[in-house]
Amino acid sequence: MGLDRIALTDHNTAEGALQLARRQPGLAIVGEEVRTTEGEIIGLFIARSLPAGGRPEEVCDAIHEMGGLTYACHPLDRRRASFRPERLVALAPRLDIIETHNAWSEPAANRATADLCRELGKVAATGSDAHAPQELGRTWMEIEPYVDSQDFLRKLAAARHVVTSESGGGRRARLRPGP
């Protein structure tokens, strides 16, 4: 597939990403998709797992204390853990990145999120939200090489969003049963 880097963000644990970073340090961006009391927040460039169930402000602050970046994933997707638009506005000072295209979100949710991200002046990202290997490559970002999380954030602002025709259908692919 030709991936240079992958932000591995399992639900409510960074352990898999930490293991991948130990095995392939040049490949992994250590992350976690943390369920909060209101929606999900991804921490990127983190050093440990975060507990689920905290208030969004507490989760964002814990990510920043580790030197990580906060990423609002599928923030306006009503079918999943998400935030109301006014809540996203209130959280904006604590958010570094807002996902404006999620491969599994309805197109209307992606458009509304992109509009809000622009209004808030936040860095936009595109996410594959892959839960299985065959789901990789539906969307991705093309970004210049970076040296640390802050350089990543600066370069992400100018990155190219690649969205394929298989992306944004609002539904998850069905996994085929094994042999």
Q: Encode pLDDT of 34-61 as tens digits.
A: 999 999 999 999 999 999 999 999 999 9
pLDDT number for residue 167: 58
Is 11 inside a domain boundary? no
What are the tokens at 154? 């600066």
Question: The domain containing residue 132 runs over which residues?
Answer: 35-163
pLDDT number for residue 171: 52
CB contact at 8 A, 131 and 117: no
Is 128 inside a domain boundary? yes
Is 123 inside a domain boundary? yes
pLDDT number for residue 174: 42
Neighbours of 169 (CB within 10 A): 14
CB contact at 8 A, 156 and 143: yes
Q: Which parts of the chain register pLDDT below 70? A: 1-2, 165-179
pLDDT number for residue 4: 85
pLDDT digits (tens, 9 = 90+) for 164-178: 766 556 554 443 343
Is 90 inside a domain boundary? yes
Q: Considering its fold, how many domains does the chain have in total?
A: 1
Distance CA 44, CA 65 (A): 12
Is 130 inside a domain boundary? yes
Is 140 inside a domain boundary? yes
Taking the mean position of all CA atoms in its chain, how far away is CA 67? 16
- Rounded to whole angstroms, what are the CA distances from 111 to 103, 106, 129, 164? 12, 9, 17, 16
pLDDT number for residue 91: 97
Nearest CA to 62 out of 76, 77, 51, 73 is that of 51
The CATH number covering residue 70 comes to 3.20.20.140
Is 21 inside a domain boundary? no
Reduced to 3 states (helix: H, G, I; strand: E, B; else coil), residue 62 is helix
Q: Whats the size of the chain, residue-wise?
A: 179
Q: What is the dihedral of CA 140, 144, 147, 151, to 10 degrees?
A: -90
pLDDT number for residue 139: 85
What are the tokens at 67? 């030197």
pTM of the predicted protein model = 0.90
Is 74 inside a domain boundary? yes
